[in-house]
Structure 1
Amino acid sequence: MIKKFHDMTPVRRENLQGGQGGAWNRYALAPHEELQGSHFQMVGTIRLDPGAEVGEHEHLTNEELYVILEGEGIYTEDGVEHKVGAGDVLILQRTHSHALRNTGKGTLTFLAVIVD
C-alpha cells in the first residue's frame, strides 16, 4: 500500500491531547480508520506550530512511535524531559505516558505511528 503525501488532505487540529496550540496533520491512516488485518491504528505526519504541544497522555492498550523530521522540542516520557531534534526516534510502550512540545521558532514536524 502506498499513500502519496499530496493525496493526504491537511487537517487542522487544536489542543492535541489537551496540549496548547495547534498543528497541521496529514494522515496515511487516520485515527479510528480501520485497516483490515493490521495492527496499525494511526499513521500520520504532524506539524506542531511554534510553542504548540501534544499534551501528556498515557497509552494503556497501544504503543506509539515518533520520528522527528524537522525542528526541536522537549519530549516528556513518564515525567522526565528530554531535548529532541531532527532524526530522533521516540518509542513509547504500553502503560507509559508522553508529551511533546515545540520549543523552536519554526514548526516541529514528526511522523507518528500508533500500533496495538
Structure 2
Amino acid sequence: MLRIKDDMIVENIEGLKGGKGFVKVINFFNPEDFLGKGRLYGMSVIKPGHSIGYHKHTGDQEAYFVLKGEARYVDNGEEFTLKPGDLAICKDGDYHSIESIGGDDLEYIMLILYS
C-alpha cells in the first residue's frame, strides 16, 4: 500500500483539548489501517504560542517524537522542554499537554495505541 501526501486527511483543530490556538493534524493512517490496535498515527504542526491542553488518557497511550521546534511538555504536572529527537510517552491513566515555544513551528510524530 502507498498513501500519497495529498491523499492524507488533514485537520486544523481549534482549542484541542482546551488548548490555545490551532493544531494541524496530518493523519498518516485512516481508521481501518489500525486493525483495532489504535486510533491516531500522524504528524502535528503547532505554531508558537499554540497548544494542546492538559488532558488524561484513558484506555490508550500516546507517544510524541519531536522533529522540529521546541515544546513545553507537561507530564502529570511536571514540566519539561522537548527538542528534536526527544520522545514523550503518556501512558494509560496519565495526563499531559504540549505547547509550541520558541520561534519555529513545532512538528512531531504522534501515535495513539489502545491499552
State whether TM-score is above 0.5.
yes
TM-score when scaled to structure 1? 0.89
Contact 1:34/1:41 (<8 A) preserved: no
**1:43-86, Cα deviation, whole Å (9 max, x unpaired):** 11110011001100001110001000100011000000001111
Which amino acid letter does the alignment assign opposite residue 100 of structure 1? Answer: I
Contact 2:8/2:27 (<8 A) preserved: yes
What residue is the counterpart of 2:46 in the other structure? 48
Structure 1 stretches of 4+ with a deviation exceeding 6 A read none
- From the superposition, tell whether residues 85 and 58 of structure 1 become closer, same or farther in structure 2 (CA, over 3 Å): same
| Partners of 2:81 and 2:89 in 1: CA distance | 15
Unaligned runs of 5+ in 2: none
Which amino acid letter does the alignment assign opposite residue 19 of structure 2? Answer: G
- From the superposition, tell whether residues 2 and 67 of structure 1 become closer, same or farther in structure 2 (CA, over 3 Å): farther
Contact 1:43/1:112 (<8 A) preserved: yes
Unaligned runs of 5+ in 1: none
Over aligned residue pairs, what C-alpha RMSD do you find?
Answer: 1.6
What residue is the counterpart of 1:97 in the other structure? 95
Contact 1:49/1:102 (<8 A) preserved: yes
| Partners of 1:11 and 1:22 in 2: CA distance | 10
| Partners of 1:96 and 1:77 in 2: CA distance | 8
Which amino acid letter does the alignment assign opposite residue 99 of structure 1? Answer: S
Contact 1:54/1:101 (<8 A) preserved: yes
| Partners of 1:91 and 1:40 in 2: CA distance | 15
Residue 109 (1) aligns with residue 111 (2): no
Between the aligned residues of both structures, percent identity stands at: 26
